[in-house]
Chain A
Amino acid sequence: AQTVTQSQPEMSVQEAETVTLSCTYDTSESDYYLFWYKQPPSRQMILVIRQEAYKQQNATENRFSVNFQKAAKSFSLKISDSQLGDAAMYFCAYAMEYGNKLVFGAGTILRVKS
């Protein structure tokens, strides 16, 4: 079975600084997708970024980028120029190519200090 591990229960970053959230996963599949979701206190789940396993190029979305290391089964999220609105719980998630269902990590609480 696929598993996703987020080893940082909580992280803090100063406003305008950069922070990296870690995620590792375990799978025997070769084709799959990885995601980072943001969950603010409202509990609404927001997709931040996704990565296709067959793509070597790391995905980027504005201030958000990933470091995808397929061999190491690592998928970290880098947030640049952190803003107060980035404070939330961040979940790393995995899905098989056609499996659709998301397997989530335990989440990392990100606190942004002004």
Chain B
Amino acid sequence: GEEVAQTPKHLVRGEGQKAKLYCAPIKGHSYVFWYQQVLKNEFKFLISFQNENVFDETGMPKERFSAKCLPNSPCSLEIQATKLEDSAVYFCASSPARGSYNEQFFGPGTRLTVL
């Protein structure tokens, strides 16, 4: 597609439950990024992929968070045992190639609310 698609739009989970978010990058884009925007509007980089390979995971919390980009499937971000502090909007972005010259196209985000 011509836009980054993210599902679901909203996700509500009780504390301790699992949350799984999906991202379909723009067709032909080989780089995928996940960012977390917390309620104070701060953006935090989580992880990036080059095709199905992890490219940079320096922002990924060591526990509870995992992500995958498998061939012919949407990318996913999974949070095990959610905590109140995981409440945020999670953005996925895709880019056609390596090199920061290439624009990152953002999806509409998934709002995760942990109760």
* A residues adjacent to B (C-beta < 8 A): 32-33, 42-45, 47, 50, 52, 89, 91, 93, 95-104, 106-107
Q: Which B residues are closer than 8 A to A by beta carbons?
A: 31, 33, 35, 37, 40-43, 45, 48, 55-56, 58-59, 89, 91, 93, 95, 98-101, 103-104, 106, 108-109
CB distance from A96 to the nearest CB of B (A): 6
> Does A33 lie within 8 Å of B101, measured CB to CB?
yes
Min CB gap A43→B, angstroms:
5
CB within 8 Å for A47 and B103 given contacts A102-B45, A103-B45? yes
Q: B57 to nearest A CB, angstroms?
A: 10
**CB-CB < 8 A to A107: which residues of B?**
41-42
Residues in A whose Cβ lies below 8 Å from that of B48: 100-101
Q: Are B33 and A43 in touch, CB under 8 angstroms? A: no
Q: Across the interface, name the chain A residue whose C-beta is closest to B108.
A: A44
Chain A positions within 8 Å of B59 at CB level: 101
List 5 A-B pairs, Cβ < 8 Å.
A45-B91, A50-B103, A95-B100, A107-B41, A107-B42
Given A44-B108, A45-B91, check contact A98 B43 (CB 8 Å): no
Contacting pair A101 B56 (CB below 8 A): yes
Bound complex: CA A44 to CA B37 (Å): 12
Establish whether residues B99 and A100, one from each chain, have CB atoms under 8 Å apart when the complex forms: yes
Contacting residues, chain A, for B108 (C-beta < 8 A): 42-44
Question: Are A91 and B56 in contact, CB atoms less than 8 angstroms apart?
Answer: no
B33:A104 contact, CB within 8 angstroms: no
Nearest Cβ distance between residue A49 and chain B, in whole angstroms? 11
Minimum CB–CB distance from A101 to chain B (whole Å) comes to 5
Partner of B41, one of A33, A89, A101, A102: A89
Which of A44, A45, A100, A106 is in CB contact (< 8 Å) with B95?
A: A100
